[in-house]
Amino acid sequence: MELSWVTVPTPLPSGPMRFAVTARGVAAASYAGDTFAGRPIGVPECTDERRSGLVRARVDEYFAGRRRELELPIDWRFATGPHLAVLRCLQAGVGFGQTVTYGELATRSGVFADPTEPGVPARTVGQMMGANPLPLLVPCHRVVAADGLGGFGGAWHGIEVKRWLLTLEGVLPPTLDWSGPTD
């Protein structure tokens, strides 16, 4: 597994993001955390200036409000089966400034044919979003509950990161303490 990491400063409440890159593209991203796939996040640091420069430039442009989609090559190695199908559906079908509910994404993905228990597909999609190896690139922050924002990671800053990203994308109105780009 040839992963190397690019650290990019962000204005998010969680601080910098880390992106695992391979020869095929970005394989993982993290808002915060110590390990991914059993290895320390950020180790080893990417020394390929072409790869790291592209990731840094695209992420910087997104957070500055100059880019709506990151359009980085993706290495899907950490998602398989139904999880991969749901993530690909999300990436292809829910663009900047849009949201979809967990249940709607379950239906759109086609993964949950004729569920026997109501609510199970939506809850399963919620778990899949929590296990998304490519947050921001595969925009799980755009997946919301039928009655509100829903969850976003287990860390203290999770829901604040989701709120910040949805504000950046114009889904939510800015609050008085908004720290994002201004037009």
pLDDT score of 153: 72
Mean pLDDT of 60-81: 96
Point out the catalytic residue in the list 140, 143, 161, 165: 140
Q: How far is residue 59's CA from residue 53's CA, in Å, rounded to a whole number?
A: 10
pLDDT score of 155: 64
pLDDT score of 177: 82
Q: How far is residue 90's CA from residue 170's CA, in Å, rounded to a whole number?
A: 18
The reply to whether 46 belongs to the active site is: no
**Residue 1 pLDDT grade (very low, low, confident, very high; cuts 50, 70, 90):** low
pLDDT score of 166: 96
Answer whether 164's CB lies under 8 Å from 57's CB: no
Tens digits of per-residue pLDDT, 15-58? 899 999 999 999 999 987 777 777 777 789 999 999 999 999 99
Q: How far is residue 44's CA from residue 58's CA, in Å, rounded to a whole number?
A: 21
pLDDT score of 152: 83
Mean pLDDT of 89-108: 96
Tens digits of per-residue pLDDT, 126-179? 999 999 999 999 999 999 999 999 888 766 678 899 999 999 999 999 988 888
pLDDT score of 183: 60
Residue with the larger pLDDT of the pair 118 and 65: 65
Q: How far is residue 10's CA from residue 12's CA, in Å, rounded to a whole number?
A: 5
Q: Spell out the CATH class of 81-168.
A: mainly alpha
Residue with the larger pLDDT of the pair 151 and 59: 59
pLDDT score of 34: 72
- Is the full-model pTM beyond 0.95? no
- Token digits for 119? 């609510």
